[in-house]
Amino acid sequence: MSQTLPLALFLMGPTASGKTELAIRLRQKYPVEIISVDSALIYKGMDIGTAKPDAAELALAPHRLIDILDPSESYSAADFRRDALQQMAEIVAQGKIPLLVGGTMLYYKALLEGLSPLPAADPVIRQQIEQQAQDIGWEALHQELASIDPVAAKRIHPNDPQRLSRALEVFRISGKTLTQLTEQKGEPIPYRVKQFAVMPKERAELHRRIELRFEKMIEAGFEQEVSGLHQRSDLHLDLPSIRCVGYRQMWEYLDGNGTLDEAVFKGVCATRQLAKRQITWLRSWGDLTWLDSEKIDASVETLSNAITSDG
């Protein structure tokens, strides 16, 4: 990439790997501004279960793109790319460096590579699909997708109505499959990006961190937080916000399914699975420098060198 492009830093990693602490440390030393890359932190009123930076942390290091939506609203990778590029441009105009921090790998991919030319949502077609789902069930619609786009059907679970509906909607609007359209790339990011990923050397340590985080969430009142959301008539399990790990399991418990201990166990398991998926993404990621969560001073130094060596 051209040396005339502005610098941007990506700090990625699985959940509970220590990204926020590392970003705040870097913010204390250098003129970086943090942009959150997290599909859960965007929601207002979802603080405990998302491990959102607290008031003290935000005072030390403000985060952009958190608390920007109500949980009843949806937010796409395209929405993130638009908003992130706007925030990055503002930061560079201030003479500072954008530091993008989080674990939503699809957002990073969209930002880095651009987006394929998918059609905008069509409320009429979407409603037709919803009605079909009520009439014949999502399993039958998944079989329809398998006949149209077997690659997408293999990737999308029958119990994922949002993505399944979108795949069918894309085909009905454009006549082309989701797989065909996603193979076409959009505009790459207009920055020189240095990419880093942080996680513990041992997977067991990451699991320990996840369990400890969940314990602290419960102590901080996670059940009460979800209960407040559960009482709202406009929120339900099909929404992306409520399907966030931890929230889904607590919501199901509040629906009367199982005990609180079972909800916590399921939440920890779901968080481990999320971390595993994030690590799988990162293992296949190109041009990535790995940092050790347990050596934060060394990690800060590595990131510092990336800034100072850039001139």
CATH code of residue 152: 1.10.20.140
Q: Is 277 left (phi over 0), alpha (psi -120 to 50) or beta?
A: alpha
Is 18 in contact with 287 (CB distance < 8 Å)?
Answer: no
40 shares its domain with 58:
yes
* pLDDT higher than 50, residue 1: no
**Could you report the per-residue pLDDT of 124-147, keeping only the tens digit for each?**
999 999 999 999 999 999 999 999
Cα dist from 145 to 112, 153, 167, whole Å: 29, 6, 8
Residue 283 belongs to some domain of the structure: yes
Residue 167 belongs to some domain of the structure: yes
The boundaries of the domain holding residue 232 are 7-115+186-308
Residue 2 belongs to some domain of the structure: no
pLDDT at residue 4 in the model: 87
∠ Cα 87 92 95 (to 5°): 135
Cα dist from 258 to 230, 242, 252, whole Å: 16, 18, 8
Residue 253 belongs to some domain of the structure: yes
Residue 95 belongs to some domain of the structure: yes
Residue 171 belongs to some domain of the structure: yes
91 shares its domain with 138:
no
pLDDT at residue 248 in the model: 97
Quote the CA–CA distance of 163 and 209 in Å, as a whole number.
30
Q: Which of 144, 160, 182 is the last residue of a domain?
A: 182
- Mean pLDDT, to the nearest integer, of 71-99? 96
Enumerate the known binding-site residues for ATP. Answer: 13-20
Where helices occur in 114-201 by DSSP H, the ranges are 123-136, 138-148, 150-155, 161-174, 178-182
156 shares its domain with 283:
no
Enumerate the known binding-site residues for substrate. Answer: 15-20
Number of domains in the chain: 2
* pLDDT higher than 70, residue 114: yes
Q: Which of 132, 166, 182 is the last residue of a domain?
A: 182
* pLDDT higher than 80, residue 117: no
253 shares its domain with 299:
yes
143 shares its domain with 207:
no
**Could you report the per-residue pLDDT of 221-259, keeping only the tens digit for each?**
999 999 999 999 999 998 999 999 999 999 999 999 999
Q: What is the DSSP letter of 199?
A: E
38 shares its domain with 165:
no
226 shares its domain with 291:
yes
Residue 218 belongs to some domain of the structure: yes
Q: How many CA atoms lie within 13 A of 55 on its CB side?
A: 0
Per-chain mean pLDDT for the chain: 94
263 shares its domain with 159:
no
167 shares its domain with 235:
no
Q: Which of 156, 182, 208 is the last residue of a domain?
A: 182
202 shares its domain with 81:
yes
Q: Is 105 left (phi over 0), alpha (psi -120 to 50) or beta?
A: alpha
CATH number at residue 85: 3.40.50.300
Residue 130 belongs to some domain of the structure: yes
∠ Cα 100 104 107 (to 5°): 70
12 shares its domain with 61:
yes
297 shares its domain with 265:
yes
The model carries a pTM of 0.82
For residue 90, give the amino acid letter.
Answer: E
